[in-house]
Amino acid sequence: MRTSNESLKTWHKTGIVFLALLSIFALSCSKQSPDCGDPGTTFCQVFLADQNNHRLIGTTYPFDSLQLHITGKDIPLEFDNQGSILFSFSNLAPYNESNYLLYLNKDDTDTLRLYISTVTNACWSTQSLDSLFYNRQRVIPVAGYRFVVIK
């Protein structure tokens, strides 16, 4: 027959094991969840320049004449104050590796080809612009998604 002292020791050991397991469980459940805030919109920035690196958008090519088009869809364009074309490529993944027509004016149309990959994390999937071709020539970004095209 067990003594009350032995029963107390058994309960004490059981309590310690229970607390240890509870602590491990609590620590494993308290991991930080990923930051699932809004990923924002990522823009591609294309600066068209002449041989002297002077801007062509807003000078040679008026802002209101520019259109970016693909298979029945116009891509909204914005412009910054330096005359760069800005467009979001986040919804263009279905048109990956397709030729976009860039209407500069009624007489001048160029092509853009975008290579887009999808990046997935714990919260969402977003697109990454891997490369850009302008009239079949690869353009190396000067920074991030900023490209300078000498025309």
Residues of the chain below pLDDT 50: 30
User: Under a CB-based contact definition with an 8 Å cutoff, are residues 133 and 113 in contact?
Assistant: yes
Sign, CA dihedral 150-88-80-57, equals positive
Which 3 state secondary structure label does DSSP give 119? strand
Residue 107 φ then ψ, to 5°: -110, -5
pLDDT value of residue 93: 74
Q: What is the pLDDT of residue 28?
A: 52
Specify the pLDDT at position 6: 63
How far apart (Å, rounded) are the C-alpha atoms in residues 96 and 26? 45
Q: What residue segments make up the domains of the chain, in order of their start?
A: 43-150
Q: Which pLDDT value is given to residue 17?
A: 55
pLDDT at 25: 54
The pLDDT, as a whole number, for residue 34 is 63
Per-residue pLDDT, 56: 97
β 78-79/85-88 pair status: antiparallel
* β-pair type (78-79, 73-75): unpaired
